[in-house]
Amino acid sequence: MTTVVTIWHNPACGTSRNTLEILRAAGVEPVVVDYLKTGWDRLTLQRLVDGVGTGARGLLREKGTPAEALGLLGPDIADEVILTAMLEHPILVNRPIVETSRGVRLCRPSEVVFVLLDTPPASFIKEDGETVRS
C-alpha cells in the first residue's frame, strides 16, 4: 500500500526547500503543491488547520505578508476571518505544511517533518550547512 505524502510548498522558502529534501532523503517523493500558484480551496485549508490543531491563527504567516495591513494580527480576530483572508491571499499561510498518514504538521523548523515519516533519514544537512538528526 502506497501512502500519499503531500507538501504545500513555496520554492522561494529555504525551510520549505529543506523540508522537501528531507522527504526525498527519506525515500519519499511527495505530491508537491505550490500553493502560491494554485491557491487554496476552503475544504483543504480547513482540513489542514484542523490537522495541525492550532487554529487558523497558528498557520498565519506575518512576515512578508499583508497580515498586518489586513488587520489580522489582533488577538480578537476570529479564525473564520483569518481563514477567509488566507483563501484570498495564499501568502498568508505559513509553510511548509506536510500531510502524511501520521498527521499534519507545519514544518517550521524543517526537521519537524521527521515525526511524520516512517523511516526518517538518520541525519540531514540543510542548505545552510546545519546538520539535523532524527
Q: Residue 13 catalytic? A: yes
Question: Which residues pair with residue 99 across a beta bridge?
Answer: 6, 104
- Coil, helix or strand for 16? helix
Rounded to 5°, the CA angle 67-128-35 comes to: 35
Q: Which of 13, 45, 83, 117 is catalytic?
A: 13
Instruction: At 14, give phi and psi (nearest 5°).
Output: -60, -40
Residues annotated as catalytic are: 13
